[in-house]
A and B are shown apart, each in its own frame.
Chain A
């Protein structure tokens, strides 16, 4: 069963569930293809390799000034792992990513299922839902910095004056955390919803007709027809959301600046304080290499688990 079909030049993507081996086997082996990927390699390497090498260089030296530096081996790496502040930020970031995934993935799928499928309202719905994705990240921060304030923001004002709950994200750690989480859900659930919507659209109509003939309930249709077909797009959604939430920087930096106290200082905020604020480039370099590695390993684990289960 393949969902890949083609009508009048409009291309439809292949079914994500299709095993890759079959597709790869059909490809011709030809190393001249390297000429075609060369421009990509050059353009990406220019901005990727040199900074990476520089950071590696930082991470094994103690830099007092550009001309005065001492080779320290792996000391910074040991220190980065041992420092309690780093460990706390790591746990905090992991917790944040877990909450983001737990809220955004189910919510995004639910919205995609509820989204209109035909008529003028499809375009309107797509444009409105996608809007938060097109706002510069610091502006997202600004929007929520305003919206959640008790004195001038609609959200904060409503919670304080209508619901009668004391809410102040600049003073209370829980409130700050909730503000950041709600902001991220507001900002990124649309991405999950649009991905899931694309996945739902690729399910052929006969599937639904068959379900209807069998008298399947709405839930059964969702559980046994729609959900399995979403595996591919949800893999992408989970990977993207994990990566970006684990590296979140700009938005919380604008709203809380990592505070109050350390309540919302995620790994990237802590790192940037070390690197830019205190100019401890050695420890910061070692720390960010470990961080980089963790993101890659976790992404690889997610990817493997998500693509293997269900085969």
Chain B
């Protein structure tokens, strides 16, 4: 791929980093709140924390309701990313290589699942997951999140796969490769970056979702974002602990994004459309 530099205006650099600074401001403020005691947050407004404490972090990692729900979120999010990828791979290949009856309608139907207003559609979720025994399990949440992640995964992968010339499939067929063997041995290694990007997007959308995850869990698979509502009690809001949990929910995403940073620009181009 040709290196594209384009031309940047002289003040572009300054404007850009100013934007990034603005972007970080609310995050830094939340971090600042997480390392000071509650009395200081409510008592007197100060830009720099006067007393620094890590008590809130200690509370988070020693209280089982906090850290277990944190783990729950990580578990079901990872399961969802892998499961979405596995079912989306053959489908994306089908969309990129074949025409078949109703393919366009099917593709549009998949995408419309992103458009359902959550509030009312959530009511039946509880009953369905209860009746099939998936209520309050990690697997249940992972399956529920496939609703919006599988269409997205198909969309991204199809774009990448369409960029690979069809001659490669044909040559492999002539060389005597069966479709599954060709797919695993030759095709998958070629779309490594697409797989990375897809996993990232699935992780991201599953991680940030709250409504569905909260509806179909109670204790054993409760997500961290639902546990955060616990900080509101009769005694008021525990701002410091809330901020601590907020800071910690950003960490897994930041780690994942660091690993795929080189592919992310390509991944966002998606392909289809």
Q: Number of B interface residues, CB 8 Å? A: 113
Chain A residues contacting B1 (CB-CB under 8 Å) are: 5, 7, 10, 12
Contact, CB under 8 Å: B99 / A134: no
Q: Is the pair A204, B4 in contact by a Cβ cutoff of 8 Å? A: yes
Chain B proximity of A267: nearest CB distance (Å): 7
Q: Which of A11, A203, A299 contacts B194 (CB 8 A)?
A: A11
Beyond A13-B266, A36-B91, A226-B6, whether A55 also contacts B119 by CB under 8 A is no
Q: Give chain A nearest CB distance to B192 CB in angstroms.
A: 7
A243 and B2 contact, CB distance less than 8 A: no
Q: Are A195 and B268 in contact (CB under 8 A)?
A: yes
A54: chain B residues at CB < 8 Å are 123-124, 127
Inter-chain contact A152/B45, CB cutoff 8 Å: yes
Majority-rule SS of A interface residues: helix
Query: Does B110 lie at the interface of the complex (its beta carbon under 8 Å from any beta carbon of A)?
Result: yes
CB pair A126–B261 under 8 Å, yes or no, is: yes
Q: Are A271 and B120 in contact (CB under 8 A)?
A: yes
Instruction: Report chain B residues within 8 Å CB of A58.
Output: 120, 123
Which of B2, B29, B33, B189 has most A Cβ within 10 Å? B2
1/0 contact string of B17-36 vs chain A (CB within 8 Å):
00110011111011001000
Cβ of B176 to closest chain A Cβ, rounded Å:
19
* CB <8 Å contact, B119 and A6: no
Nearest-Cβ distance from residue A89 to partner chain B, whole angstroms: 12
Which of the 9-residue segments A67-75, A95-103, A168-176, A284-292 touches chain B?
A: A284-292
Is the CB–CB distance between B271 and A272 below 8 Å?
no
> Are the CB atoms of B243 and A146 closer together than 8 Å?
yes
Is there an interface contact between B269 and A138, defined as CB atoms closer than 8 Å? no
Docked CA distance A47–B26 (Å): 36
B34-93 with Cβ < 8 A to chain A: 41-42, 45, 47, 83, 86-88, 90-91, 93
The residue that A28 contacts in the complex, of B5, B97, B228, B262, with Cβ under 8 A, is B97
Cβ of B133 within 8 Å of any chain A Cβ, yes or no, is no
Residues of chain A in range 195-231 having any CB-CB distance to chain B below 8 Å: 195, 197-206, 208, 212, 218, 221, 226
What 9 additional pairs, Cβ within 8 angstroms, besides A131-B254, A190-B23? A11-B194, A16-B271, A29-B98, A33-B94, A37-B90, A43-B146, A133-B208, A147-B29, A155-B29
The 3 closest A-B pairs by CB, nearest first: A134-B253, A272-B119, A54-B124
